[in-house]
Amino acid sequence: MNLYIEDKIKVFQESNKNRGRLLVSCPDQPGIVSAISNLFFSFNANIVESSQYSTNSGDGTFFIRIEFECPSLKDKTNDMEAQLAIIAEKFSMVWTLNHIYNVKKAAIFVSKELHCLQELLWEWQSGDLTTDIALVISNHEAAREVVEGLNIPFYYIPANKDIRKQVEEKQQQLLKDYEIDFIVLARYMQILTPEFVEAHPNKIINIHHSFLPAFIGAKPYERAYDRGVKLIGATSHYVTNDLDEGPIIDQDIARVDHRDNVARLKKIGTSIERSVLARTVKWHIEDRIIVHKNKTIVF
């Protein structure tokens, strides 16, 4: 890892060694917030940020994200999780408790177009993405120079549909070797197999270069031009085995008109793609996203 980035991560870890985040989803009912608050109080923990939401639909689901500070959190974690498990059983909760100290490790997959990768690297260098970019995997050599220039391991693995299984076996081994927490497809133009996707549920972030659900699949800018659209956009989503139909995390758009040809649409679109993907990765590493069915709650 880049020594400058490594030092920044160490500073971040030291300043957040007693901070954690709790994400909860459960059927909506009285007493949930009180039970969680009382638990944190019993551990002398201070809630520093709390956001909650309840659906108005028939399922009546409650969601909450809490960031807290607790003295000697590492020593108290096992007891805290045991108490959370009791509360979770009572309220039928799905929950995760994450330590901010444990900086998430990311793998970035990329093909020929580098604008999304470069945006992530710039945000990472500036300190706005507090994650460990452990490696970059590509089916082209285009990104090698920029990646290795930052002392990030780069792996060139040629890929196509005929050798997809062998390719993914190599990729999976690398992800295991580097103990990766999540994957970012920064314009990685290969379809992943069901086995690969199922191995990383809600851990693969993709950027699609259209405003979904419009123009799913390949060549969305060309199809948008042929359709004469007046708005183009980009969409980030978690990957599922339904092509470009996973839970949407973020979207943005720009206005275009009849004067904009395909090349112009792509130029406008790349800027949207970069910002949407960087924002999404930041939300993911900050534990701001809860997946519910095929939607997301973003706090």
Show the DSSP H helices in 115-154 as ranges.
115-126, 144-148
Q: Euclidean distance between the first and final Cα of the chain, in Å? A: 30
184: left (phi over 0), alpha (psi -120 to 50) or beta: beta
What's the rounded Cα separation, in Å, for the pair 184 and 163? Answer: 21
CA angle centred on 222, ends 217 and 228, rounded to 5°:
115
Residue 107 CA to residue 128 CA, distance in Å, equals 17
Nearest to 67 by CA among 131, 22, 104: 22
Give the tokens for residue 47.
């809630």
Kindly report the number of other CB atoms within 10 A of residue 256's CB atom: 18
Rounded (5°) CA angle 176-182-187: 110
Q: Which of 59, 79, 242, 244 is an active site residue?
A: 244
Cα angle 16-94-200, degrees, rounded to a multiple of 5:
75
Q: 10 Å Cβ neighbour count for 217?
A: 11
Give the helix/strand (H/E) hosting 2: none
Catalytic (active site) residue 244: yes
CA distance 154 to 134: 9
Q: Which residues does the annotation mark as catalytic?
A: 244
